[in-house]
Structure 1
Amino acid sequence: MTIPVDRLTDPAVRAFVTALNANDQAAFQQALTPGATMSDDGSDRDLAQWTEKEIFSSRGHMEIESEKTGGRGLVARFRNDTWGEMRTQWRFTVDGGKISRFETGQA
């Protein structure tokens, strides 16, 4: 069973996932604070390069399985055209209603 994106608890996380799933780069940038950072499997990555490769040019998509920590932690089935589908975990830091950092990795 999955959680519909429009039912995600945290509005900033909801905006992030909505933009990611719509492949909407402008809305995705609007969901982030200036200077937002991220990590993948414990290693910091260049956010612009990572999102272009893993999300936008490869049509990334998240199906949310569960939420924790007030909606700022997700377990999701993430898929893209490069890697196929994998079970992932996501942790978000929210600042002023926008995502200032996210950390993802295999669940």
Structure 2
Amino acid sequence: MTIPVEKLTDPAVRAFVAAVNANDEEAFRAALAPGATMSDDGSDRDLDEWTEKEIFSSRGHMEIESVKDDGHVLVARFRNDTWGEMRTRWRFVVEGGKVVRFETGQA
């Protein structure tokens, strides 16, 4: 069963996922704090390079399967035109209503 984006409880995480699914880079940037960081499968990555490759130029999309930790940990089916679909875990650190860090990897 998929959880609708509008049901995500943390507003910053909700804005992040909505922006990914809309392929809206401006809204995505607005959901992030200045200097936000990220990691993929345990390795820190350049946020701009990674999001361009894995989300925006390849039409990334998240279908949320579960939500934990006050809305800061998601399991989602993530798909893009490069890799197809995979089950992924996303962990968000939110401060001041913005995502300051997110970590993703296979679930």
* C-alpha distance in structure 2 between counterparts of 1:9 and 1:35, whole Å: 24
What are the within-5 Å matches in structure 2 for residues 1-107 of structure 1?
1-107=1-107
Distance 2:7 2:69 in 1: 15
2:62 is aligned with what amino acid?
M
Identity between Structure 1 and Structure 2 (%)? 80
Q: Deviations over 1:12-61 (max 9, x none)?
A: 10000000000000000000000000000000000000000000000000
Q: How much has 1:69 moved relative to structure 2?
A: 0.1
Query: What's the offset of the Cα at 1:76?
Result: 0.1
Gaps in structure 2 of 5+ consecutive residues: none
Aligned pairs, number: 107
In structure 1, stretches of 5+ residues that fail to align are none
Partner of 1:53: helix, strand, or coil? Answer: helix
Q: TM-score, normalised by structure 2?
A: 1.00
Normalising by structure 1, we get a TM-score of 1.00
Letter in 1 for 2:8: L
Aligned residue type for 1:60 = G
How far, CA to CA, are the matches of 1:5 and 1:57 in structure 2? 22
Give the distance between the partners of 2:71 and 2:10, measured in 1 at CA: 5
